[in-house]
Structure 1
Amino acid sequence: MIPAKLRDALALGLALSCGQALAAEVTIACGSVGSDVEICRKMTDEWAARSGHTVRIFVTPNSSTDQLALYRQQFGAGSGEVDVLMVDVVWPGIVKQHLVDLAPHAREARKEHFPSIIANNTVDGKLLALPWFTDAGVLYYRGDLLKKYNARVPATWNELTATARLIQDGERAAGNRDMHGFVFQGKAYEGLTCNALEWVASFGGGTIVEPDGRISINNAQAAKALDLAASWPGNIAPKNVVSFAEEEARGVFQNGNAVFMRNWSYAWVLAQRADSKVKGRIGMTVLPAGDDAGKGGRGAATLGGWNLAVSRYSKNQAAAIDLVLYLTGKDAQKKRALLVGSLPTHPALYKDADILKSAPYYGQLLDVFNAALVRPSTVTGDKYNAVSSAFWNAAQSALGARGNGTDAVRKLEKDITRVRRGAAW
């Protein structure tokens, strides 16, 4: 018979051995914009303490375009370096063969999210990602400067252009030579697709490729929108706005050197921090409408947001799936909303008293989502990236005054037709 003390020691040793064997290190790519990494580390540490696993943060490039290129490189090599990936709302159809089907593990959890986002993330019957936070383009403005110049929040893009010029010139004359009227994402990447789609759709110019597969971009309203945008760089916007992504635009605005900014909701909390030069001086609203309401012009905001997926090449799939379920759950999304102002994908949280007290503007953003634009990623499938690339290059060509809007949309129609390579997608 084994003595009791020895038996207990052996049992403890076996338990510790099994615990070590079951413990895993999960690597997550959870962004690099704003406070993404900071909040990701905080929340994954909480999961690690609960689960007994450890987490390593994999920092990705700022640009979503560069992130996708990095993921594709890793997928091509069959690399399991990253277990959990942050996936843009337009990517599930592009990288579908490289992601784990989460449907068997999220039968109840999937019911708690906005159905439209779950549908977006479901390809060929497989749930390839769970929603982490959603978003849409919004307009930030300097409320103090609008009041100073007796100007109102612009309702149209032409009104924004005129107001931006008025205040920019006035502030420069008063001594701030670095003041600009408007900053946005003008770099040749997916962010410019989001911005330019808002311009085009707000003028009634369609959504590049319509849900029925028709290539619609070659029209007078789309050309008019691009011509207006082309007047901004070097006028009301910095000349180098064509190199701006989200963080470059936020940096100029948050340092007090822009009247208006187009960005995502994440910038609100950062602009209200103690070190922000515009703390307490800003407002946020829906993006302006085009000036041709009779031709379908309206305010338009591109739907954004990010999801979490598990790589098919992960060697720690069980732990990775558990981490995804934790981070996308209602409690974790509430914490993220309170900490950084991200927009939950759980409809119930928009009625949460704590969130509404912290961010009363959530009610206004629901109106934005009701009119949000979906990029044509579903209809174009795995060709979306090529379509988007052609669109952002055409938009940047217009911004750089290399041709005009009419030439840009005519050439773009031909380029997208070549991408399609047939009568249907």
Structure 2
Amino acid sequence: MRERLPLLLAVFWASFLSPGARAGSLTVFCSSSGTEMALCRSETQAWAQATGHAVTLVLLPSDWGEVLPLYRQLLSAPTPVVDVLVMDGTWLGTLAPMLGAIAPTPDDDDLAPGTFTSAGRNVALPWYRDIGLLFYRKDLLARYRLPVPQSWDELASEARTIQDAERARGDGALWGYVWQGRAAESLLCNVLEWFGPAGGAIVSEDGRVDLDNDGARAALTRASGWIGTISPAGVLSDDEEATRGAFQSGHAVFMRNWVYAWALANDPQSSIAGKVGVAPLPRDTASEPPQGVDGTVYLGMARGTAHAAEALSLMRYLTSRAVERARAVAGAYIPARRSLLDDPDMRAALPVLATIRPALARPVLRPVAQTGMDYPRVAWLAANGFHDALRGGHDASDTLHRLSDVFGIMAHRGQWPGRPADVTLPQEKTR
């Protein structure tokens, strides 16, 4: 990653200084993926024509893991050369001190999950939403007359039943459940969804480390039991695309993934097109309300931008009801405005919206706001600890206890927002 950063910066400067860039133009980062790039281009051009301002687009690296260090470098410059940025929600705690303040408006009440606030400043606006979901083979559940599972135990039972029966019919490559087990952010999302209300969110809203508890231990132990029974051992190296590939090839009954997988699984070229259902993820008990990890993407501006008014104007335009509505219809993006979720055009463009609406109302938030600039380190440690427990390196109790001690020390040293002053500092261990 460090070796690639100078190259990424060189690519940025080449884009910024290209003949298409004009002096005084607003510089905006956009995704390099096809649909989102096309929408970003058309939306910013519409704003430019309406306001008379110029916009220069710079495309992000295709690997979003490379974007955060790039943003850190660019925003740390004495005079920022970027104005508006598209950001994953997990970067906000780290980037917040380098982002400009966004004055609130009454219209913000319609935004979900709301503007991101750090140190009393609003620094990012939600642009579009995403959430963890359960995808399943409708045809296989119908064949065995099974309902969509509501709890994790029900999922494991149904996955094993269908898997064993289909293998007996000759489909030896079928597995019951695929998910993202690679030691990365995606595993952290899965684990938080397994934890549910009983297991906590690693760090609670008031800044307390909330990890070493019976609910978390039971959830992590349960998931460990899936390996080799309903989930292949290789799931521990899988990301979203690997699991989508297995599911879309017809090699899995259930899959955890994000909304984007819906359109791809039902593409006419897909071998399972028309055979896919989607639902909120299972819970510890079926009586709990549906939940999934929030995957909202945000917009923010550089704190030292010379074009603050223009940048804010563009961000307000991109997050407006009209633009979010058009974006949802054209690209199947879940709008970040509550008032659009029941819009008939939204329901037509996103048929799954009615099904996943309960989960959108209660998203699981990662502890980005609570841990501030320490979030990337917290996420890395947690993902690697959980991965080690899942592959059998340590049991769940030992893993959660060790992580709790480490995070307790980090909370005191990092002065995490909301950290209780009366929490005893864990004794630091050395090897």
Same-fold call, TM cutoff 0.5: yes
Are the structure 2 counterparts of residues 27 and 357 from structure 1 closer, same or farther at C-alpha, using a change threshold of 3 Å? closer
1:70-115 CA distances to partner (integer Å, 9 max, x unpaired)?
3224334558454322222343332112112232xx636534423x
SS in structure 2 of the partner of residue 373 of structure 1: coil
**Which shifted more, 364-373 or 140-149?**
364-373
Instruction: Please state how far the C-alpha of 1:224 moved relative to its aligned partner.
Output: 1.4
| Matched residue, 1:230 | 224
CA 339–255 in structure 1, closer or farther in 2 if over 3 Å, else same = farther
**Alpha-carbon distance between aligned partners in 2 of 1:82 and 1:327, rounded to the nearest angstrom:** 17
CA distance in 2, matches of 1:169, 1:337: 40
Residues 88 and 297 in structure 2, CA contact (< 8 A), matched pair in contact too = yes
Check whether the contact 1:157–1:288 (CA below 8 A) recurs between aligned residues: yes
Contact 1:112 1:346 survives alignment (8 Å): yes
Q: CA deviation at 1:25?
A: 5.8
Residue 68 of structure 2 corresponds to 68
What is the identity, as a one-letter code, of the residue corresponding to 1:152?
P
1:192-225 residue CA offsets vs partner (Å, 9 max, x unmatched): 22110111125x1122122233222112221111
> 2:26 touches 2:53 (CA, 8 Å); kept in 1?
no
From 147, 150, 159, the counterpart of 2:145: 150
- Which SS does the other structure have where 1:259 is aligned? strand
Deviation at 1:227, TM superposition (A): 1.3
Is 1:28 matched with 2:23? Answer: no
CA-to-aligned-CA distance 1:24-63 (integer Å, 9 cap, x gap): 263313365x844344344445445555634424223445
Cα deviation code 1:224-267 (max 9, x no counterpart)? 11112122334322322223222222232223322111122232
Aligned residues: 395
**Shift, 1:318, TM fit:** 4.9
Aligned to 2:121: 126
Q: CA deviation at 1:405?
A: 1.1
Contact 1:88 1:305 (C-alpha < 8 Å) held by counterparts: yes
**Given that residues 30 and 40 in structure 2 are in contact (C-alpha distance below 8 angstroms), is that contact kept between their aligned partners in structure 1?**
no
Corresponding residue to 2:202 among 208, 216, 219: 208
Q: Is the 8 A contact 1:26 1:316 kept in 2?
A: no
Question: Which stretch shows the higher mean deviation, 210-219 or 318-327?
Answer: 318-327
> Which residue identity does 1:274 align to in structure 2?
P
Contact 1:201 1:298 in 2 (8 A): no
Change (3 A) 1:175 1:72: farther
TM-score (norm: length of structure 2)? 0.81
In structure 2, distance between residues paired with 1:250 and 1:81: 37
**Residue deviations 1:241-297 (CA, integer Å, cap 9, x gap):** 22322222223222332211112223223323222222221111111111597xxx6
State, as a whole percentage, how many aligned pairs show the same letter.
Answer: 33
Q: Paired residue for 1:117?
A: 114
Partners of 2:232 and 2:331 in 1: how far apart? 28
Q: Distance in 2 between matches of 1:219 and 1:228?
A: 14
Aligned 1:380-395 pairs, distance under 5 A: 380-395=371-386
1:286 aligned onto 2:280: yes
SS at structure 1 position matched to 2:253: strand
Distance 1:35 1:398 in 2: 38
The one-letter amino acid paired with 1:94 is: T
Q: Counterparts in 2 of 1:136-285, with a 5 A limit?
A: 136-201=131-196, 204-285=198-279
Q: What amino acid sits opposite 2:91 in the alignment? A: W
CA distance in 2, matches of 1:152, 1:79: 58
Could you tell me which residue of structure 2 aligns to residue 352 of structure 1? 343
Q: 1:35 to 1:239 in 2, by over 3 A?
A: farther
> Is residue 96 of structure 1 aligned with residue 96 of structure 2?
yes
Q: Distance in 1 between matches of 2:367 and 2:111?
A: 22
Distance 2:47 2:243 in 1: 33
TM-fit CA distance, 1:416: 0.9
Tell me, which stretches of 5 or more residues in structure 2 are unaligned?
1-20, 421-431
Measure how far apart 1:305 and its partner are: 0.6
CA distance in 2, matches of 1:270, 1:315: 41
Alignment of 1:369-388 (within 5 A): 369-388=360-379
Q: What CA distance in whole angstroms lies between the structure 2 residues aligned with 1:79 and 1:149?
A: 63
Which shifted more, 363-372 or 312-321? 312-321
Partner of 1:409, secondary structure, is: helix
Whether the aligned pair in 2 keeps the contact of 1:99 and 1:311 (CA below 8 Å) is yes
CA distance in 1, matches of 2:58, 2:383: 30
Cα offsets for 1:328-362 (capped at 9, x unmatched): 11111112211232211112212322112333432
User: CA contact under 8 A between 2:22 and 2:54: conserved in structure 1?
Assistant: no
CA RMSD, Structure 1 to Structure 2 (Å): 2.9
- Provide, for residues 381-418 of structure 1, a one-character-per-residue CA deviation record: whole Å limited to 9, x for no partner: 33233322222122111222212211111111112112
Secondary structure at the residue paired with 1:28?
strand
The alignment partner of 1:287 has SS state of coil
AA in 2 matched with 1:179: L
* TM norm structure 1: 0.82
- Structure 1 CA distance for aligned equivalents of residues 28 and 48 of structure 2: 12
Q: Secondary structure of the residue that 1:351 maps to in structure 2? A: coil
> 3-state SS of the aligned residue for 2:209?
coil
SS in 2 for 1:129: strand
- Call closer, same or farther: CA 1:256–1:317 in 2, change over 3 Å: farther
* Structure-2 change in CA distance of 1:285 and 1:412 (3 Å): same
CA deviation vs aligned residue, 1:116-151 (integer Å, no higher than 9, x gap): 412xx1223422111101232211111111112222
